[in-house]
Amino acid sequence: MNEVTLTKMTQMKLYGMHGAFRTAIETGQTNDYTLDQFVSMLTDAEWDDKNNRKIARLIKNARFHYKSAIENIVYDETRNIDRNLILRLAECDFIEKTENVLITGSTGVGKSYLATALGYQACINGYRVMYHNTTKLFSKLKMAKADGSYLKELAKMERHHLVILDDFGLQPLDSQNRIALLEIIEDRHNNGTLMVTSQVPIKGWYEIIGEKTIADAILDRLIHQSHRIELSGESMRKKRSYLNKEND
């Protein structure tokens, strides 16, 4: 009877229940529960399994470049990171409120790591996240313009709760990229959240965007109701490399 039940659980894709039930049988714990406790245990196991698989799917679909975590962020006072702000952002209320997050700082100070950590946390909280290197995104959108899939790409971004644009401003925008950025931001204004990382201070973004009227439209929507994080200190990459050599 138990083997039949286990087979049916597998066929119905109740993998959490299947694992918990099989473990209970193999360890002889089936008699340790009352009926309602046993049903509750199986239900909890199934809920946990489905939730964990959902989180794994969200993280995979986000296409992060690497893994990072809120608990591994270094709050060195020289880095100018407000621990309380980061922990508040980790609760992801800013996504519910469609507030943007703008992270600036010089090369290697941990902008991408921080953005990715917040992105992972958003996935854990059940939000759909999309990560893009900004330069590669603009190249992709130019190709999409050429093959007719441009609107489809914009619609795909619009379906996500949080879009991360990493390394914005490495080079000035041409007219096509300028319009693409405006359309992305207009689509997300009051409908979704943007997180942008850049080596260039926010005051220098006007020059990167170029055309004044469009720059005003973009930055008015992007900066309004945003959380700004300006990282400082020495390169975390150099620091890790130095520590690794010391430990060798």
Provide the pLDDT for residue 217: 93
Bigger pLDDT: 182 or 238?
A: 182
Please identify, in words, the CATH class of the domain defined by 70-243: alpha beta
Q: Report which DSSP code applies to 234.
A: S
d(CA 47, CA 12): 14
pLDDT digits (tens, 9 = 90+) for 143-155: 999 999 999 999 9
CA angle 4, 6, 10 (to 5 degrees): 115
pLDDT digits (tens, 9 = 90+) for 24-40: 888 887 777 888 898 99
Tell me what the mean pLDDT of segment 8-27 comes to. Answer: 90
Provide the pLDDT for residue 243: 39
Where do the domains of the chain lie? 2-62, 70-243
d(CA 171, CA 173): 6
**What is the DSSP secondary-structure string of 2-14?**
HHHHHHHHHHTT-
Tell me what the mean pLDDT of segment 51-69 comes to. Answer: 94
